[in-house]
Amino acid sequence: MTLRPPAHVAGLVPYVPGKPIEEVERELGITDSVKLASNENPVGPSPLALAAAREALADVHRYPDDGGWALRQKLAAHLGFAADGIVVGAGSSELIRLAVGAYVGPGDEAVMAAPAFVVYKLAVTAAAGRPVEVPCRDFAHDLDAMLAAVTPRTRIVFVCNPNNPTGTVVTEPAFGRFVDRLPPDLLLVIDEAYIEFVERSDVPDGLAYLREARPGRPPILVLRTFSKIYGLAGLRVGYGLTTPAVAADLNRVRPPFNVSRPALAAAEAALADRAHLETTRAVTLEGRRYLAEALGRLGLEVVPSQANFLLVKTPVKGSALADALLEAGVIVRPVDGYGLPDYVRISVGTRTENERCVAALAARLRG
């Protein structure tokens, strides 16, 4: 007898990350590639966060503060939200896992948009649950269709706002109506990994919904991360904001010491570095405008984005275009895995990186 995982695990296709820069450079024999594939912060980490992480290294023979008490206190003060409703994780990806682990049993359902962040589906499938994917309309969450997909077996509804990989947002007043029509016995997860890049004023603030909990509405878990605007993707820190009861359930399935000492220290320091956040936001918004315009001028269709990336329709297969750009040292993300074979997702980089991307694209489209 050979050891085999159960069928629901054997059928899983592991998450495919953006190609690491080191691998591309090794393969191509170059050193100046531009990575616009994983929606990272092109500015780099906050120097204050780096200093804090370095200092924390001295104590890594000790386990970290379990549950990230100090970071939760800082987040609580920063957001004006009770610390007992905050859970920290190794990236917000871990919080998705914790939410699913806490509430989704075999055969239970979770409703999500398609395409949306692929980890929702992976986590639910790994828990022997049933992901119920509701096609986007015009690349955005179809909230009415999502509501119609809710059944008595639905344990979680995921709303990715802004959505990855489309960059679209849900807006008011439609979102408010959606929340009011959801049954109270499920968890509404609002994934706000990219919320800091939103410019529109009609986009809901998950935290505001959480604060004004109304009877009849489901409990809410808002997910945020230090991987994007805070530039700490490599350290893996994210957090969830929720009710103390949901936080307690997530903590039941949270592995002990799930966030490392340097990561916790860096996140605390990053939270206090307002200047770094503002710089990143300015670079990203300027870059997003520049890329959207420049790609439009090249005749490419760009989905309007409120995130730090753009979904772009390609005249050839997205993966073929991504391969061609790779030869020019520009790494973008094909999204066939999201059911979008004729698109690529391009993360906003620095001005120089964006210009290199546009030049490489222009050359490939001409050639």
Residues β-bridged to residue 346: 310
160 binds ligand PLP per the rule CB under 6 A: yes
> 112 or 360: whose CB is closer to ligand PLP?
112
306 binds ligand PLP per the rule CB under 6 A: no
76-84, 91-99, 180-188, 278-286 -> range binding ligand PLP (CB under 6 A): 91-99
Pair of tokens at residue 78: 């920063």
Of 103, 117, 175, 338, the one binding ligand PLP (CB under 6 A) is 117
Pair of tokens at residue 336: 């066939």
308 binds ligand PLP per the rule CB under 6 A: no
Whether 318 contacts 342, CB under 8 Å: yes
> 92 or 314: whose CB is closer to ligand PLP?
92
Of 238, 240, 318, 349, the one binding ligand PLP (CB under 6 A) is 238
166 binds ligand PLP per the rule CB under 6 A: no
Residues β-bridged to residue 220: 188
| CA atoms of 207 and 226, how far apart (whole Å) | 17
> 160 or 246: whose CB is closer to ligand PLP?
160
Separate counts of helices (H) and strands (E) for the chain: 14, 13
Q: How far is the CB of 307 from ligand PLP (least distance, A)?
A: 8
Query: For 32, which DSSP code?
Result: -
For residue 191, give the nearest of 163, 160, 169, 225 by alpha carbon.
160
| CA atoms of 235 and 71, how far apart (whole Å) | 14
Q: How far is the CB of 270 from ligand PLP (least distance, A)?
A: 13
* R_g of the chain computed on alpha carbons: 20
List phi, psi (to 5°) of 150: -75, 130
Pair of tokens at residue 271: 């939270």
Of 227, 258, 280, 314, the one binding ligand PLP (CB under 6 A) is 227
Q: How far is the CB of 316 from ligand PLP (least distance, A)?
A: 25
242 binds ligand PLP per the rule CB under 6 A: no
| 255 cis-preceded (ω within 30 degrees of 0) | no
86-94, 98-106, 208-216, 241-249 -> range binding ligand PLP (CB under 6 A): 86-94
225 binds ligand PLP per the rule CB under 6 A: yes
125 binds ligand PLP per the rule CB under 6 A: no
Q: How far is the CB of 17 from ligand PLP (least distance, A)?
A: 9
91 binds ligand PLP per the rule CB under 6 A: yes
92 binds ligand PLP per the rule CB under 6 A: yes
202-210, 225-233, 278-286, 322-330 -> range binding ligand PLP (CB under 6 A): 225-233
Q: How far is the CB of 123 from ligand PLP (least distance, A)?
A: 11
Total number of residues that touch ligand PLP (CB under 6 A): 13
| CA atoms of 200 and 301, how far apart (whole Å) | 21
39 binds ligand PLP per the rule CB under 6 A: yes
41 binds ligand PLP per the rule CB under 6 A: no
List phi, psi (to 5°) of 269: -70, -40
Residue 350 burial (CB < 10 Å; 0-12/13-18/19+)?
middle
Of 33, 164, 166, 280, the one binding ligand PLP (CB under 6 A) is 164
Secondary element (H or E) of residue 131: strand 130-135
DSSP output for 243-276: -HHHHHHHHHHSPTT-S-HHHHHHHHHHHH-HHH
| CA atoms of 63 and 148, how far apart (whole Å) | 46
Of 93, 166, 314, 347, the one binding ligand PLP (CB under 6 A) is 93
Catalog residues that contact ligand PLP under the rule CB under 6 A: 39, 91-93, 117, 160, 164, 191, 193, 225, 227, 233, 238
